[in-house]
Structure 1
Amino acid sequence: MTEGPNPFGIAVIGCGNIARSHLNAIQQLEELRLVATVDIDKERAKRYAETYGADRYYFSHTEALEDPEVDAVSICLPHSLHAQVAVDAAQKGKHILTEKPMATSLEDAERMVQAAEMRGVTLMVEQTLRFRECNVKVKEMIREGVIGEPRRAIRRRLGYSRSAPVTWANNPEIAGGWVLYGFGSHEVDIALWHLDSPARRVYAQGTVNNPYWNDYDEVSVHMELADGTIVTVLLSVNCQQRSWDSIIIGTKGSMTVREAKDITIGDRVISTPLKPGEGLAAALKEFTSALKEGREPEASGRDVLKTMWALEAAKFSLKEKKVITTRELGYPT
């Protein structure tokens, strides 16, 4: 395994759409060296290796995990495949950065954490929104008491899409539900992260608007947090008047956050456009910094279990049409 000032050798597992963003970000970081690309499509694995300057390519993740120059992996696979590849990587002593959602079940997410902790390797989830200026500022201002104690929050991601961005997006067995796990893994996570309190009661409702998605494509997740704050997350892929924002109401004021645009508090507007180096690049930087410093990273697997519990509770609530609490669904320990 790499030590000292040498760059960490990394393999990117899965050469689909999101892998391009990971590979571009890796090229920006001197702390990382791209050792290998991995994909079951042999031509794609080779093409990505040649395009992004990998030393070599593999056709299975098990082959890549045997490579002694691979210190870490970036998992860019379909959602349902994250867990087993992460467990396999941990068992081989490799550090892990996985795309969101961490997994498609709480049980699988807990397996990932247990495997990583047992081998003493780092497990981080690529929760991009935590690394954007707008969200970092919001968390700082809430912590500083700018709006007093938070009491209510509404998070909206209302978009419009008539077709899947990847071939498996409308297959719930693989995606876990494109809206709940594809979008919700971002939006539930950032709502909980802003407010720094875990969910303890969850009620979710959903409806099928466009049958193409084979699952709920309109979802509302209502959460009561441990500190009493009430949070509602609204998700849609059928809204032509797109909205991607948060409203957070406290005891001394409120704020509106337009994702990667601005924050409004009273009459004051703070511009927070997306800048180079934010998001995924910043997440990878945090990953490598945590490895060098021997510390837990932001969005560690254990931390993201809070998000996975809320998503699982929402999934059960949608199915059973009732409120889910920590009595019905045990909280990760």
Structure 2
Amino acid sequence: MKKTYGIVLIGCGHIGESHIEDIYYRDGIRIVGVVDLVEEQAQAFARKYGALSYGTDYRPYLTREDVDIVIIATYAGSHFAILKDCLAAGKHVLCEKPMTAANFHDAHRFYELVKASGPKVLIAHVLRHNQTYHHAAKLIQEGAIGDIRLIRMAQNHHTLEPKRYQSLLHDCPPIVDCGVHYIDVIRWFTGLSITSIAGVGTAIHTKPPIYDHGILTMTLSNGASAYYEAGWSKSMASENLKEFIGTRGRIRITLKENRLFDREEGDLLEYYFAEEGVYHTINIPSKYKNMWAQLLTLIEMVETDREGSPTLDEAYEAFCIALLGDRAIRENRTISVPSSLADFSTVLS
């Protein structure tokens, strides 16, 4: 790190706190300001995390020379407008996923704007900076479980904060908001493309066409299958399943908070080698939301002109595929996934 970076956080909610609590005490970081529409919330964050100032309007911070990076941790529907202002002011941006609300027009404008801009922008796919996921990706890419044939994933939330989730649903269904992570994981772990997508949606505590639970089914370029389930409901149990099954065995990821025993050992990777009928277990001390590693990636992009992880193209494609999944659910049909980024404009416009 070549300098001390001045940071402004926009959005002092759940995900905003995940960001700031992992970075405010780091060397080379100076929290210039925190911003939230609710002044009392911004004031509380400033006091708790040592921010130099707080406010309800982010725009005055964009004129300050001591601000280098803006973290956008607001609801997805506001991302594009804030990003546009930040880039016009020459500020680098770490923007929470998804890129925008479930709207292709805004996402495409976001993508084109970043492509044409000078400042660096990283989309916050935090699993790309998680050591457990990196270890699982390495095993799969090295052929530990043979050819991938099936991927099973679920991320259901028992919503104890219904107002928060109602606000999220206004912008995106769960299979878009959370699904962008796991669509990206499928492509990152396997190197395969998703060639078609379908699914079903259920309205548990919403009214159609808004649905608060969805299941995506996907066909991969080698003929394998994958599914992803996501729901937000006060009636559902929390569930976290990540399993990758191949011709030689399978790998399952269990986060430390979901382990029955040995949580102090960190996350658990279970690797079953089918040819010998042997289980291997790997304990990995890993921070689930490693916001510091994510911010360091953006800083490295600034200092070395490297690409982000995921790249803008990868984040944009994952988002477009999630939008196709949402459309497939709403229209009750299977949709072919384009093989090039340019073709998404034709399919989704």
TM-score (norm 1): 0.87
**CA separation of 1:32/1:111 partners in 2, compared to 1, >3 Å: closer, same or farther?**
farther
Determine whether 1:152 maps to 2:150.
Answer: yes
Q: 1:293 aligns with which of 278, 290, 304?
A: 304
Determine whether 1:206 maps to 2:201.
Answer: yes
Would the aligned equivalents of 2:76 and 2:97 in 1 still touch at CA under 8 Å?
Answer: yes
Q: 2:49 aligns with which of 48, 52, 64?
A: 52
How far the C-alpha of 1:172 sits from its partner, in A, is: 6.2
How far the C-alpha of 1:244 sits from its partner, in A, is: 1.0
Please name the residue that 2:261 is paired with: none
Separation in 2 of the partners of 1:145 and 1:172? 38
Would the aligned equivalents of 1:99 and 1:125 in 2 still touch at CA under 8 Å?
Answer: yes
Q: 2:178 aligns with which of 179, 183, 201?
A: 183
Separation in 2 of the partners of 1:109 and 1:227? 29
Would the aligned equivalents of 1:37 and 1:56 in 2 still touch at CA under 8 Å?
Answer: yes
Tell which deviates more after alignment, 85-94 or 266-275. Answer: 266-275
Please name the residue that 2:68 is paired with: 71
Please name the residue that 1:263 is paired with: 269
Q: What per-residue deviation string (whole Å, max 9, x for no partner) do you get for residues 105-155 of structure 1?
A: 333223222222212221111112222222111111111111122122111
One-letter code aligned to 1:258: T
Would the aligned equivalents of 1:78 and 1:174 in 2 still touch at CA under 8 Å?
Answer: no
One-letter code aligned to 1:269: T
**CA separation of 1:269/1:240 partners in 2, compared to 1, >3 Å: closer, same or farther?**
farther
How far the C-alpha of 1:265 sits from its partner, in A, is: 1.4
Separation in 1 of the partners of 2:83 and 2:301? 18
Separation in 2 of the partners of 1:324 and 1:307? 15
Q: For structure 1, which runs of at least 5 residues remain unmatched after alignment?
A: none
Superposed counterparts of 1:1-333, under 5 Å: 5-104=2-101, 105-161=103-159, 163-164=161-162, 167-171=163-167, 174-177=170-173, 179-211=174-206, 215-237=210-232, 242-260=238-256, 261-266=267-272, 267-275=279-287, 279-326=290-337, 330-331=343-344
Separation in 2 of the partners of 1:265 and 1:89? 44
How far the C-alpha of 1:258 sits from its partner, in A, is: 1.9
One-letter code aligned to 2:268: D
Q: What per-residue deviation string (whole Å, max 9, x for no partner) do you get for residues 283-332 of structure 1?
A: 12222222222211212333211210111001111111111224699337
Separation in 1 of the partners of 2:89 and 2:176? 28
Separation in 1 of the partners of 2:157 and 2:16? 23
Tell which deviates more after alignment, 207-216 or 299-308. Answer: 207-216
- Give the secondary-structure state (helix, strand or coil) at the position aligned to 2:16: helix
How far the C-alpha of 1:46 sits from its partner, in A, is: 3.2
How far the C-alpha of 1:192 sits from its partner, in A, is: 3.0
Runs of 4+ in 1 over 6 A off after TM superposition: none
Would the aligned equivalents of 1:11 and 1:35 in 2 still touch at CA under 8 Å?
Answer: yes
- Give the secondary-structure state (helix, strand or coil) at the position aligned to 2:6: strand
* Same amino acid, percent of matched pairs: 22
Separation in 1 of the partners of 2:206 and 2:117? 43
Would the aligned equivalents of 2:22 and 2:290 in 1 still touch at CA under 8 Å?
Answer: no
> Paired residues, what number?
326
Would the aligned equivalents of 2:201 and 2:211 in 1 still touch at CA under 8 Å?
Answer: yes
How far the C-alpha of 1:205 sits from its partner, in A, is: 0.8
Q: What per-residue deviation string (whole Å, max 9, x for no partner) do you get for residues 32-63 of structure 1?
A: 22111122323333332233222233322222
Would the aligned equivalents of 2:215 and 2:228 in 1 still touch at CA under 8 Å?
Answer: yes
- Give the secondary-structure state (helix, strand or coil) at the position aligned to 1:26: coil
How far the C-alpha of 1:76 sits from its partner, in A, is: 0.9
**CA separation of 1:171/1:219 partners in 2, compared to 1, >3 Å: closer, same or farther?**
same
Q: CA RMSD in A?
A: 2.7
How far the C-alpha of 1:12 sits from its partner, in A, is: 0.6
